[in-house]
Structures are given as C-alpha cells and as structure tokens.
C-alpha cells in the first residue's frame, strides 16, 4: 500500500505541534490536521470584547514555554516570536495593601519575604541550581531518572502537600505566595504532590521569568507552525476528525486529544482492557474565564501588583486552601482564588492607545455553568478599588463554552485531566509507554499524557520519540 504520509498528527495545540516538528525533524513526512479554521489549540488570540482589543482565549503567560527543553532548541524568534518580560514575574496582594512578589532575582525575592528569606532560599535555590539536571526527568514520563540524586532531593519536597510544605514559613506573605503558585495545580492544596507545581513555577520565575508573547499567545503557535512548514511539513485546517476512516494512509497517527475523544474516534481498535483503563481516566475541575476591555490599567493598591503581568488574588493560605477545597467538593466559593493577567501594561499591541485589556479565571466544579463574573470582579475590586469603573466591555466563558471552544477541555478542565498523584506520571493509563495505545500505529500525545498540562510541548515531543522507536508497526487507514 502506498503511504500518503509517514505520520499524521491530529490536533494543533502545543503538543500536536511539538510532535509534528519532532517527527519532521527526523526525516518523516508529516501531515498536521486541525479541526478549527486556525491552528493553535489553547494558543489563540482574538478580539473577544471590542475591536482593537486582543485577548488570549486560553493560555496567556508562559513560564514553561521558555523553560521547555524542546521549545528552547527551536529558532522560533526567526518567525517573529518575541517574549516580553515584566519587571516582576508574579505578584500576590494582601488585604493590608502589601504584596508578595516573584522577581527574577532569587535573592531579591527572598529578601522581600523578611524572616522567611532563609527558608525560601533553602527550598527554591537547589531547584534553580539543579534545574538543567531535573527538567528532563520532571518533564517526562515515569522512568529511572538520569540524575537520581538531584531528582530525589527535589522529590522529598515536591511530593508533599502544599499545606504541609508551607509550615516551614512563618509569615502569611510567604505562605500566601506559595499557595498561589501551588493552586495552579487545580486541586486541593492538601493533596499529595501539590508542592511540585508551586516549586517549579517559582523556580521558573528565577530561571527565565514569566514572559508572554508580544501580540498574543497565538504568536507561539504561529512560530511553531512556520518552523514545521519550513521543515517540509503540511498543515490542513477545518478538518474535524471523528473516525479513522477520515485519515490518509500513514505509519503512525498521533492524537492531541483526551482519552474520551480518542475512544470516540478509535475505540473500536482498542483492546477491552485498554478501553476499560481509558474510560476510568479522571478529569479535574473546570474554569470560568473573563476577558475585559479597560479604559485604564487595573488600579491595584499594592504597587508591586502593577509591575507584574500575572497577579494571584486569594489573600492568605487559609483562604486559598478553603476556596480550592470547596470547589473540588462541588461548591462555588464567594471568594474564589483568581488568576489574573494584565499583558497590556507591558505590550501596547494588545489595545488601542491609552486603553488596556485583562484576563482572569477562577476554578469551578467540572461542567459548572454558574456565572462567576460578580465573584471574580469582587475579588479584583477587593485589591484594586475602582476597577469596575474602568471596565468598557467583558467577555465570559463558562465550562461548557470552554469545552465547545476547545474539545480537549472536558468539563472546562484546562489540564486535560486531573493532575493529582494518581495521574501525575501515569496519565492516561499505567503503561510502559503512556503514549502508545493497544492498537499498533495509534498514539496519544496530548496533555492527558506526561508531563501533563502547560505550554511546553513535552507531551508531544516524548510521544514523537516513541513513534520513532516503533516505525516497524503496521500501516492502517
């Protein structure tokens, strides 16, 4: 049978793009298929509110993109990708008008934590110093680490619940800062291994900052696509795949989709045990998101919050802990933990001259359609009195609308599956290679595989490496 391509990748999110590039780099002929009219998945930028106001539809700030062992090897700047680095990576304001702040300098960040300076350095500095050794192991499927001693030292802290690890801090400032970082894991802070994401995000801030692309997140997708095409790859858009029969002949097909979608497309090809495992895959909490067109910058009381593109609104450790637990249990907190981005403070391409944009979301129960606009805006107003007076227009996404926009966000879950300890390294199933399925030639390369959510492309990269080892598998249509 004559092949149309060596490999086909379905889905053009950061992992689909990474997989396609990796295979094309190694001499395969690759077709990348996207269901939407434009590539990108969670990397898209649109005028959601008013003409001239550019909003990141999904992901906005990208510390893991610049820290990615794969993306960092690509000449993406040649295709117009320019990162902007705000003076502060992130800020965490409190009710008293002060704020904790993550600076590029680890020593400066520590000094701002006062009595907790030494404890902060003891926790984060080894990770910053050892990141080149730890990153390839952390951003990979479960395996014996290349640097076991470094990984073991990291693991002793990373595997702890965030609520336990913060006990080494004395001040509410340090505890709140860490809690806001750990809450990116979208699960209760009392869960095992919730310290891992907090530590990695803090270390990323010191290593590379928390930058964002000038002109919007779509610029990352555009640069990746341009590089893929320069290598000889082909992209087909507006082609939504619902069955294997729609695909051209290839040695391998990689799906940048979640288990539920893959079962719908190719479930009839899988063994009973593999289907049973995939059906048990668990999705996590969803998000409710708002984009604002603003007449002026957000008037945060704490000056540090005006120097960061990312602001965590949750006040104390206890408040964030309570909010996330209530949401996990199916509730809608009156004071939700809010993640906010204000890119236009540092990127004048995002809004008309003198105007601004802002982006924010809170966690909600999976599938929730409750309107959290008032709760989120009250949280912003709490730390920035007068904020609502500056709102010109708003656009909202509940979980159902998020999933409709991007089918990978099942129930509004932007991590494509709960990232708790049972699915951190074994997603989507416990298998020698999580990227292979029980059907030869069919692979999964989405954030439902290790190392999970985030714009880093490592799920796609590792899936592609698996394909390269399996090139003798049967051809199918």
Mean predicted confidence (pLDDT) in 53-72: 95
pLDDT of residue 327 exceeding 90? yes
pLDDT of residue 219 exceeding 80? yes
Q: How confident is the model at residue 131 (pLDDT cuts 50, 70, 90)?
A: confident
pLDDT of residue 426 exceeding 90? no
- Match domain 83-212+285-405 to its CATH number in 3.90.660, 1.10.3470, 3.30.1330, 1.10.10: 3.90.660
pLDDT of residue 472 exceeding 70? no
| 250 or 136, greater pLDDT | 250
The chain-wide mean pLDDT, for the chain, equals 94
- Which H, E and C letters describe the chain, residue by residue? CCCCCCEEEECCCHHHHHHHHHHHHCCCCEEEECCCCCCCCCCCEECCCCCCCCEECCCCCCHHHHHCCCHHHCCHHHHCCCEECCCEEEEEECCCCCEEEECCCHHHHHHCCHHHHHHHHHHHHHHHHHHHHHHHHHCCCCCCCCCHHHHHHHHHHHCCCHHHHHHHCCCHHHHHHHHHHHHHHCCCCCCCCHHHHHHHHHHHHHHCCCCEECCCCHHHHHHHHHHHHHCCCEEECCCCCCCHHHCCCECEEEECCCHHHHHHHHHHHCCHHHHHHHHCCCCCCEEEEEEEEECCCCCCCCHHHHCEEEEEECCCHHHHHHHHHHHHCCCCCCCCCEEEECHHHCCCCCCCCCCEEEEEEEEECCCCCCCCHHHHHHHHHHHCCCHHHHEEEEEEECHHHHHHHCCCCHHHCCCCCCCCCCCCCCCCCCCCCCCECCCCCEEECCCCCCCCCCCCCHHHHHHHHHHHHCCCCCCEC
Mean predicted confidence (pLDDT) in 147-153: 78
Per-residue pLDDT tens digits for 96-106: 999 999 999 99
Q: How confident is the model at residue 151 (pLDDT cuts 50, 70, 90)?
A: confident
pLDDT of residue 212 exceeding 60? yes
| In the chain, ranges of CATH 3.50.50.60 domains | 7-48+57-81+213-281+414-469
| In the chain, ranges of CATH 3.90.660 domains | 83-212+285-405
pLDDT of residue 201 exceeding 70? yes
Per-residue pLDDT tens digits for 291-313: 999 999 999 999 999 999 999 99
Mean predicted confidence (pLDDT) in 54-69: 95
Q: How confident is the model at residue 255 (pLDDT cuts 50, 70, 90)?
A: very high
Provide the CATH topology of domain 7-48+57-81+213-281+414-469: FAD/NAD(P)-binding domain (3.50.50)
pLDDT of residue 136 exceeding 50? yes
Q: Is the pTM of this model over 0.75?
A: yes
Mean predicted confidence (pLDDT) in 200-207: 96
Amino acid 473: pLDDT: 40
Per-residue pLDDT tens digits for 378-408: 999 999 999 999 999 999 999 999 999 999 9
Per-residue pLDDT tens digits for 17-38: 999 999 999 999 999 999 999 9
Amino acid 477: pLDDT: 36
Amino acid 146: pLDDT: 80
Amino acid 153: pLDDT: 81
pLDDT of residue 1 exceeding 90? no
Q: How confident is the model at residue 2 (pLDDT cuts 50, 70, 90)?
A: low
């Amino acid at each position: 049978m004559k092949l149309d391509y060596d490999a086909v990748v379905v889905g053009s999110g950061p992992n689909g793009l990474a997989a396609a590039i990796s295979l094309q780099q190694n001499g395969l002929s690759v077709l990348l298929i996207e269901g939407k009219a434009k590539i990108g998945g969670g990397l898209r930028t649109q005028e959601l509110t008013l003409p001239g106001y550019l909003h990141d539809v999904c992901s906005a700030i990208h510390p893991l993109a610049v820290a990615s062992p794969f993306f960092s090897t690509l000449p993406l700047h040649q295709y117009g990708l320019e990162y902007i680095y705000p003076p502060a990576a992130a800020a965490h304001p409190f009710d008293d008008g002060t704020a904790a702040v993550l600076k590029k300098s680890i020593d400066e960040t520590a000094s701002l934590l006062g009595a907790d300076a030494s404890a902060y350095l003891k926790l984060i500095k080894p990770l910053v110093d050892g990141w080149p050794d730890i990153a390839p192991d952390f951003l990979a499927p479960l395996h014996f680490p290349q640097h076991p001693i470094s990984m073991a030292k990291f693991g002793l802290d990373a595997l702890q619940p965030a609520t336990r690890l913060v006990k080494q801090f004395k001040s509410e400032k340090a505890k709140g800062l860490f809690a806001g970082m750990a809450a990116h894991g979208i699960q209760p802070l009392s869960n095992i291994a919730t310290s891992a994401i907090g530590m990695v995000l803090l270390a990323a801030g010191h290593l590379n900052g928390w930058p964002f692309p000038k002109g919007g997140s779509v610029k990352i997708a555009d640069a990746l696509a341009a590089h893929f095409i320069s290598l000889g790859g082909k992209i087909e858009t507006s082609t939504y795949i619902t069955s294997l029969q729609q695909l051209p002949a290839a040695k391998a097909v990689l799906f940048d989709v979640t288990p539920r979608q893959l079962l719908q497309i190719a479930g009839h090809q899988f063994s009973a045990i593999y289907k049973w495992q995939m059906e048990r895959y668990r999705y996590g909490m969803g998000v409710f998101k708002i984009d604002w067109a603003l007449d002026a910058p957000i008037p945060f009381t704490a000056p540090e919050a005006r120097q960061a593109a990312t602001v965590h609104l949750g006040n104390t450790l206890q408040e964030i802990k309570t909010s996330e637990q209530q949401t996990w249990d199916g509730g809608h907190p009156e004071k939700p933990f809010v993640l906010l981005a204000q890119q236009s403070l540092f990127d004048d391409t995002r809004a008309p001259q003198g105007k601004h944009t802002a982006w924010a979301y809170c966690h909600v129960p999976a599938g929730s359609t409750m309107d959290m606009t008032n709760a989120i805006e009250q949280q912003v107003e709490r730390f920035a009195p007068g904020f609502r007076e500056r709102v010109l227009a708003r656009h909202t996404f509940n979980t159902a609308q998020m999933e409709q926009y991007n089918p990978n966000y099942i129930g509004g879950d932007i991590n494509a599956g709960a990232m708790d300890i049972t699915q951190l390294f074994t997603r989507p199933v416990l298998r020698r290679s999580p990227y292979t399925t029980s059907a030869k030639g069919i692979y999964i390369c989405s954030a439902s595989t290790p190392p999970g959510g985030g714009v880093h492309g490592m799920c796609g990269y590792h899936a592609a490496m698996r394909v390269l080892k399996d090139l003798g598998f049967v051809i199918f249509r």
